[in-house]
Amino acid sequence: MSDRLHKPASRWFAEVELQVQFFDLDPMEIVWHGNYVKYLEIVRCALLDKIDYNYGQMQASGYAWPVIDMHLRYVAPAAFGQRLKLRADIVEWENRLKIDYLITDAASGRRLHRASTTQVAVEIATRAMCFASPPVLFEKLGVQPT
């Protein structure tokens, strides 16, 4: 996974801030590792809203986009009350939808977590996986298929 601090910003991104809640902590009083997946979903939905292709629009277009791969890198823990900045960038879209994530401390900018997810289009009617992204994704991104 590439270092988000050295990559140029993507054309399609979203940022969300949130405050760590008590129910997200583990017995060590830091965010339980599994909750980072929830944080990724929060910012992914913000990104999909931004391109007007969140889960409802996906379903209406005839495609589901299951996550088929996820990579997580825990750099430093987050604690109760800490404000986090979540960022998601679309980095691939031709044959799959790949999103890179960065979670930082909102106050200092210190990197806490990075991740990536890969989703593929599946035709809802046939449950067939598409080996290229359907035209609707290109439309939502405002790009021409290559």
Residue 85, pLDDT above cutoff 60? yes
Which residue is it, tokens 């993507």? 10
C-alpha gyration radius of the chain: 16
Between the CA of residue 100 and those of 5, 87, 139, what are the distances in Å?
Answer: 12, 8, 21
pLDDT digits (tens, 9 = 90+) for 10-33: 799 999 999 999 999 999 999 999
Distance set, CA 107 to CA 39, 79, 88, 89, 119 (Å): 18, 13, 18, 21, 31
94 located within any domain: yes
- CATH number for the domain spanning 67: value is 3.10.129.10
pLDDT value of residue 95? 95
Count: domains in the chain: 1
The sign of the CA dihedral 35, 115, 83, 16 is negative
Look up residue 105 and give its two tokens: 């401390």
Residue 6, pLDDT above cutoff 60: no
The pTM assigned to this predicted structure is: 0.91
Residue-wise pLDDT for 65-83, tens only, equals: 999 999 999 999 999 999 9
Q: Which domain holds residue 21?
A: 4-141
Percent of the chain with pLDDT over 70: 94
